[in-house]
Amino acid sequence: MYSDLVIEHFTNPRNVGVIENADGVGRVGNPVCGDMMEIFIKVEDGRIADVKFRTFGCGAAIATSSMATEMVKGKPIEDVLRLTRKDVADALGGLPAHKMHCSNLAVDALRAALHDYFSKHPELLPAGVRLEDLAPPPEDSSAEEA
Amino acid sequence: MAIDLDKGVYLDHAATTPVDRRVVEAMLPFWTERYGNPSSIYRLGRDAAKALNGARERIAGILQADPSEIIFTSCGTESDNLAIRGVAFAQRARGKGTHIITSSVEHHAVGHTVEQLVKKFGFEATFLPVDHYGMVDPDEVARAIRPDTVLITIMYANNEVGTIQPIAEIGRLARERGIPFHTDAVQAGGALPLDVNALNVDLLSLSAHKFYGPKGVGLLYVRKGTPLWPMQTGGSQERNRRAGTENVAFAVGMATALELAYAELEQTNRRVQALRDRLIAGVLERIPDVELTGHPTQRLPNSASFVVKYVEGEAMLLNLDMKGIFASSGSACTSMSLSPSHVLTAMGFPPEIAHGSLRMTLGKGNTEEEIDYVLDVLPEIVSRLRAMSPLYQPAA
Ligand SMILES: Cc1ncc(COP(=O)(O)O)c(C=O)c1O
Ligand code: FES
């Protein structure tokens, strides 16, 4: 049911771990099945200089965490803000329909980490971006929208 | 003896079992040479009827039943459906009432059938709670019985955690009050005694693929005098209780598999249970924060089930699969519905603990080498996943 790429990222996940003194930390739970993810970011010159994650979840959750961190590493924050769960799922060669919600975890955690970062540095918030839009979704929200 | 990793280490015998070669041999003639329809009057048909009824008699012998009390079906699920809906409708038509008693840890073949009777057909049901081991208390059954109770259905042994229910005791309560008692014995078949008189049951479901028979054939034992409406209407096969041309090959296969299982029962159970105990002891010893689920002693001899804290079941299964080990889990993420197993939930496990569900069910083909291999591989998998888990704080 999983693509080879999903299995590959699940088997050898990139960027697993914790960043001490991270510039931003995002922690989100998955309201659908109760899983959890943490993302740590280091920001330099408006780019994601380093990123690490820890995930408690299924194969798809771990693979999307790994892929999402790869996709944002070294990228300007503006790009990260545009990342959707579909981008991550597509990069993995697709996910089974009932596993699409797992990719929310990674995208939401990244945005939560940026929320944390910009809360400390509101002056760096890019034009047109509102801090509240980056806030992690409340626990009971539907996981269906990207 | 080395382990054949191409073949894999199969530890999911509660899901299904390989067909015993002797069973395959016994079935073969009934497709190509002895292919008659048992309802036909000429020699070819009579031969098929003889084989079919021979299978019925052999099975009845093991169940201590009369052959006329055995109905062949297409699977365990159909047997459960026929038993529950068939008795419920017949009882209501006789004005006996509309109340059904069952447990909260049944297989969906029972649980969803009862739920449908409640939601769509105006029945009422009591879903009895279980204790932390998944055990139903017979006193609770007695308390739940009402004047309008028309059926009690409680499984013999649980498919997820292996717990064996006090069937004979519950059956005695039902018998005293004249209420038909059904048990889903699908997991017990080939492992536990099936004497329907000692068990005090009126209906009992079995499925051949759980005891080295083929998939797609089951049976329902129905004690004489038990009210039962057919759920499948048509010809007069199976004494008008289950219409449709009988699957002679599969009936013969099921009878052969059941006979082999009970001829070799003690020997198989002794071997499998020793391996299972080695597996349970090894897992509990080598992996911290693991709990055995299900009853410690009143459990199927082949069943080892756990919750492994701070890791998710599907992630464990994928890792085991990569090592050539086939197991299963009741975790939310492994189910299409994305909710944790109703069995673990009924046993009081919170969702985050049920997440780490891991079930390994052994069979007669497993070896000590295979178990030792699992015990080598599993602790590494768990530590790797825990290192990745935000919930896990290793002891300093
Ligand atoms: C307890 C129990 N009941 C019923 C069934 C359904 O049997 P079958 O697969 O033959 O429909 C199973 C099999 O998974 C089972 O374990
Ligand atoms: S994280 Fe639970 S299904 Fe993916």
Let me know: does B305 contact B293? Beta carbons within 8 Å: yes
Instruction: Select the residue of A32, A36, A102 nearest B391 (Cβ to Cβ).
Output: A36
Minimal-distance CA residue of chain B relative to A7: B318
Please determine, for residue A141, whether its predicted confidence score (pLDDT) is greater than 80. Answer: no
**Nearest atom of ligand 1 to the alpha carbon of B216:** 10
Report CB contact under 8 Å: A56, B355: yes
- Say whether A58 is catalytic: no
- The average pLDDT across B62-73 equals 98
**In this structure, which ligand is nearest to the CA of B216?**
1
Pick B338's closest partner by Cβ from A13, A33, A54: A33
Residues in A closer than 8 angstroms to B333, CB to CB, are 33, 35, 57-58, 60-61, 102
Q: What ligand 1 atom has the least distance to the C-alpha of B155?
A: 1
Contact check, Cβ <8 Å, A58/B333 = yes
Q: Ligand nearest A30 Cα, by number?
A: 2
A33 is a catalytic site residue = yes
Cα–Cα nearest to B219, from B70, B84, B49, B86:
B70
Q: Does any CB of chain B come closer than 8 Å to the CB of residue A75?
A: no
Closest atom of ligand 2 to CA, residue A30: 1
B389/A33 CB distance under 8 A: no
pLDDT given for residue A33 in this prediction: 76
- A145 pLDDT exceeds 70? no
Say yes or no to pLDDT of B16 above 70: yes
CA A95 to chain B, closest CA, distance in angstroms equals 14
* B302 neighbors B191 (Cβ within 8 angstroms): yes
Mean pLDDT of all residues in chain B? 96
| Alpha helical stretches, state H, chain A | 4-11, 59-72, 77-82, 85-91, 102-120
Residue A63's pLDDT band (boundaries 50, 70, 90)? very high
Residue A61 Cβ inside 6 Å of ligand 2? The answer reads yes
β-sheet bridge partners, residue B9: B325
Given A102, A109, A112, A113, which residue is catalytic? Answer: A102
- Closest-CA distance, B332 to chain A, in angstroms, reads 6
Q: Report how far apart, in Å, the C-alpha atoms of B160 and of each of B55, B294, B319 are.
A: 30, 8, 20
* pLDDT one-digit tens code per residue, B316-362: 999 999 999 999 998 888 887 788 899 999 999 998 899 999 999 99
* Residue percentage of chain A with pLDDT more than 90: 73
Q: Is any ligand 1 atom within 6 A of the Cβ of residue B75?
A: yes
Active-site annotation holder among A25, A33, A36, A58: A33
Q: Nearest residue of A to residue B341 by CA position?
A: A33
User: Tens of pLDDT along B153-199?
Assistant: 999 999 999 999 999 999 999 999 999 999 999 999 999 999 999 99
The CB of B218 under 6 Å from ligand 1? The reply is yes
**pLDDT band for position A144 (50/70/90)?**
very low
Residues 6+ apart with CB under 8 A from A73: A15, A48, A50, A51
**Angle made by CA atoms B131, B135, B138, in degrees to the nearest 5:** 105
CA nearest to A38 within chain B: B390
Lowest mean pLDDT among B131-140, B161-170, B292-301, B328-337: B328-337
pTM of the model: 0.93
pLDDT band at A139 (very low <50, low <70, confident <90, very high): low
ipTM over 0.90: no
Which of A10, A36, A57 is the closest to B333 by Cβ?
Answer: A57
Hey, which of B316, B318, B333, B355 would you mutate to test ligand 2's pocket, going by the most ligand atoms within 8 Å of its Cβ?
B333
**Residue B155: CB within 6 Å of ligand 1?**
yes
Q: Which two tokens mark A16? A: 């697993």
**Pick from B337, B318, B338: which is nearest to B328 by CA?**
B318
Of B255, B287, B234, B317, the residue nearest B15 (C-alpha): B317
Ligand 2 atom closest to the CA of B333, numbered from 1 = 3
The chain B residue lying nearest A99, using CA atoms, is: B333
- Which ligand places an atom closest to the C-alpha of A99? 2
Share of chain B above pLDDT 70, in %: 99
- Highest mean pLDDT of the ranges A22-36, B195-209, B342-356: B195-209
Ligand 2 centre to CA of A58 (Å) is 5
DSSP H helices in B230-310: 237-240, 248-263, 265-286
Token pair belonging to A101: 């919600």
pLDDT at B246 over 70: yes
- The verdict on a CB contact (< 8 Å) between B333 and A33 is yes
- Report pLDDT for B1: 60
Contact B332 A34 (CB under 8 A): yes
| Residue A142: band (very low, low, confident or very high) from pLDDT cuts 50, 70, 90 | very low
Residues A105 and A23: beta-carbon distance below 8 Å: no
